[in-house]
Structure 1
């Protein structure tokens, strides 16, 4: 009896940790994601989505799959000519309902422009649709979660 109680007490934290990990992956965009080229649909970047201090989410490039030392030649301002690796490409995405995020900004590396952004987790948290918008016209990319 004592052994069963001890085993149960030891198993409880593991069960709780597993449940929290599952909940985070399904409802939080935090983690590593693969992005794809809009024209060829080939993998382009690995980005890390993380939660900022203010509770919003941001995305930073951790790997460029097409060229390891790629720079943002189309960017202006502080990002002009800077390496894409470690560059923040989305920021200020705030939770806005279940699996939805809004109020953000996204940087399109292909043209160096920033757009108002919103996003949503789909397919049980396996995919992240991020939208760049000008007025009411929005285009989106689907990123896939890295495991």
Structure 2
């Protein structure tokens, strides 16, 4: 019996530690609406996220008209919205996230929660907003 419990705990620990933030995520806004799919990937130890699908077909060809700099008038589909995040303890942070709806860029913190959702938190000073994205299978 002890052996079975030990094996079960080991399996549970390994399955949780095997989960990571990389892959495709269904974005869900603060109203609970599924907006897009973002692919989160790593290059040279730095984390990025790119919009690879827009759910609303009428917005597939939308441009980032509110964005500034290099992103101004770029297609939202294919836009890299998460930049420069790095692992820091249990979080990925020190990067930024772009909201293509308003062109604002926020400081970023990413983490997996106990439900396997990606907690995406954007900061503007001490004010923050959190979304929970679902992993795409």
TM over 0.5: yes
- Separation in 2 of the partners of 1:58 and 1:70? 21
Instruction: Provide runs of 4+ in structure 1 moved above 2 Å.
Output: 22-25
Q: Which residue of 2 aligns with 1:123?
A: 114
Mapping 1:86-101, distance limit 5 Å: 86-98=78-90, 100-101=91-92
TM-score normalised to the size of structure 2? 0.80
The alpha-carbon deviation at position 24 of structure 1 amounts to 7.1
Kept after mapping to 2: 8 A contact 1:47/1:62: yes
TM-score normalised to the size of structure 1? 0.75
Kept after mapping to 2: 8 A contact 1:116/1:132: yes
| Structure 1 segments unaligned to the other structure (5+ residues) | 1-21
Shift in CA distance, 103/72, structure 1 to aligned 2, threshold 3 Å: same
Structure whose residues are more often strand by fraction: 2
Larger Rg: 1
| Structure 2 segments unaligned to the other structure (5+ residues) | 1-14
Shift in CA distance, 72/97, structure 1 to aligned 2, threshold 3 Å: same
Q: Secondary structure at the match of 1:123?
A: coil
Q: Which residue of 2 aligns with 1:137?
A: 127
Q: Which residue of 1 aligns with 2:25?
A: 33
Q: In angstroms, what is the RMSD of aligned CA positions?
A: 1.9
Structure whose residues are more often helix by fraction: 1
